[in-house]
Amino acid sequence: MSHSQVRKDKRCLNCGHFVAERFCPECGQENVETRRHFHYLFVHFWADFIHYDGLFWKTVKSLYVPAKLTKEYLAGKRKSRVNPVQLYIFISFVVFFVPHILPDFDEHSEKHGAQKESSEENFFSPNDTISLFGLKNIRNIEDLDSLQQTLPKEERLSIYEYIVSKRILALKQKKNQKEGISEALMHNFPKAIFFYMPVFAFWLWLFHSKKKWLYFDHGIYTLHYFSFILFTILLYIIVNWLLALFHTETPDIIAIAMFAYFIYYFFHSHRRMYLETKVVSRLICTALFFINTIFIFIFLILYVIAVALFH
């Protein structure tokens, strides 16, 4: 709570309404002196930060209990938790920001072990040039064809060498394309689901009683569910980074377990949220799971294409 001096003037500076005590009954603004010492900026910042920090972790703790946060919010318990929209935006920002500030230990490990790799493995390093049968600085098939046409006949590759070289470059290009597509999909996933959330809420609205549930209710559930997904992905990124610190790759079982928990959470939270029988809830969840999986994938592909075209 602020310790600033209350203004003698009882007119609210924001809306002009009469303020009997400290807070305006019309707009809620605190009627205190606006001109303060410079150190107030720092004190106020840390007070707000500590308050939000405690509120955020309390909210995240409740987020991992399926449907608890949504049911509390819809029941009117809102002041003790972070607002669903603010929660999603903050978590999204952290998920986007954290990978850019963490040191890249994977890259350091690759450089450290480069001397131990064979020349054949180096053929498949993305964005690198390679040497093939004496020809240097070849990046792709176009470079190979250009050298074959411009070099003197005695320095050109034989038919056998040319076929082998072309095959190696084709494999290299194919691998780089797959890595590029996978990286683009993973990088844009949080952005794509932000735009997909209204569609996700629409499917929930379509499968449930229109009299009992409003689209707003489904929207709150959607915000909490995707906040849970993004925060879990953030934890996965941090675990992956910590393992990379010790030059250890993240076991595939962790990613599989994370995806499995997303499914379990959806089924369990759905039943607790909508209070349906187990059979009905599982049937609806199964249908929603397959529908959303297909549409999210399509939406993600279209989003990546749109970003590539208009970037």
Are the CB atoms for 108 and 150 separated by under 8 Å?
Answer: no
Instruction: From residue 25, give the alpha-carbon distance in Å to each of 10, 13, 80, 186, 242.
Output: 12, 13, 21, 48, 50
Are the CB atoms for 260 and 118 separated by under 8 Å?
Answer: no
Predicted local confidence at residue 33, as pLDDT: 63
Predicted local confidence at residue 133, as pLDDT: 61
| Separation CA 303–CA 305 (nearest Å) | 5
Predicted local confidence at residue 205, as pLDDT: 95
Low-confidence ranges of the chain (pLDDT < 70): 1-5, 33-53, 103-140, 144, 147-148, 154-155, 157, 160, 164-165, 167-189, 304, 307-311
Report the residue count for the chain: 311
Predicted local confidence at residue 249, as pLDDT: 76
C-alpha 294, offset from chain centre: 19
Long-range pairs for 35-40: beta carbons < 8 A, 24 or more residues apart: 36/4, 40/4
Are the CB atoms for 163 and 210 separated by under 8 Å?
Answer: no
| Separation CA 311–CA 309 (nearest Å) | 6
Predicted local confidence at residue 131, as pLDDT: 56
Predicted local confidence at residue 150, as pLDDT: 75
Predicted local confidence at residue 237, as pLDDT: 85
- pTM for the whole structure: 0.64
Predicted local confidence at residue 110, as pLDDT: 46
